[in-house]
Chain A
Amino acid sequence: MKNIVLFCAAGMSTSLLVTKMEKAAANEGFDCKIAAYSLNELKTYGPDADIILLGPQVRYNLDKVKTELPEKPVVVIDMRQYGMMDGKGVIEMVHKVLGE
């Protein structure tokens, strides 16, 4: 099972995307756990993640997160997909990054 962790400023708007992503994942039978947190909780939830997704509003933290967790794939969610709450599109991107 893949552990997908999303981070944004407060973990609030991202939670909305999580519900859409969960729906998309369930539809295609993708076995994963998806959760959203505030970037302040990176140290708590980051190390267990298979992939880390950042909300576009915290994009400027990309380098910091990569330095903190150098072995993890870290991706900024596309602004358009984020705005449209395109759960399916983000799941497809996750597959691509994880090389599935």
Chain B
Amino acid sequence: MSELNDEKYEEIVMGLIVSGGNARSLAMEAIQAAKAGEFDKAGTLMTECEEALTEAHNIQTELIQKEIRGEHVQIMLLMVHAQDHLMNAIVVKDMALEIIDLHQKIK
């Protein structure tokens, strides 16, 4: 990552946080929609959630591939935090699908 300056790297990491965080928010909003009986809205929100997660994944993959190519990726605390956001988003997404399904069964 030597060719990346700090500001550019910060921007990439923020991209990871924003898309991961957005995916998590969308999944939570989908659960809230399902709770209110709005299952179509929940479905749309989950599709948007998947898209946001894909975006985050792409950023992540790009960084991992850089490292594999021998371009060392600098690890800063903010990057660790970004991984936290991403992992959280993936878990919440999986759980959201189950919870929405449960709401549907209850109705």
Q: Which residues of A contact B (CB under 8 A)?
A: 8-10, 12-13, 16, 55-60, 79, 82-85
Knowing A59-B29, A60-B29 are in contact, say whether A9-B10 is a contact too (CB < 8 A). no
Nearest-CB distance from B39 to chain A (Å)? 17
Contacts of A55 in B (CB 8 A): 21
| B interface, over-half SS | helix
Chain B interface residues (CB < 8 Å from chain A): 10-11, 14-15, 17-18, 20-22, 24-25, 28-29, 32, 77-78, 81-82, 84-85, 88
CB pair B14–A83 under 8 Å, yes or no, is yes
CB B30 to nearest CB in A, in angstroms, measures: 9
- The number of A-B residue pairs with CB atoms under 8 Å apart is 54
Point out the residue from B22, B32, B78 that lies within 8 Å of A13, measured CB to CB: B78
* A56 in contact with B25 given A12-B78, A16-B78 (CB within 8 Å): yes
Q: Is the CB of A82 within 8 A of B29?
A: no
| A79 surroundings in chain B (CB, below 8 A) | 18, 22
Q: Which of B14, B21, B28 contacts A85 (CB 8 A)?
A: B14
Question: Once the chains are docked, how many angstroms separate the CA of A85 from the CA of B15?
Answer: 10
Q: State the 8 A-B residue pairs at the shortest beta-carbon distance, nearest first.
A: A57-B21, A60-B28, A83-B18, A59-B25, A60-B25, A13-B17, A60-B29, A12-B81
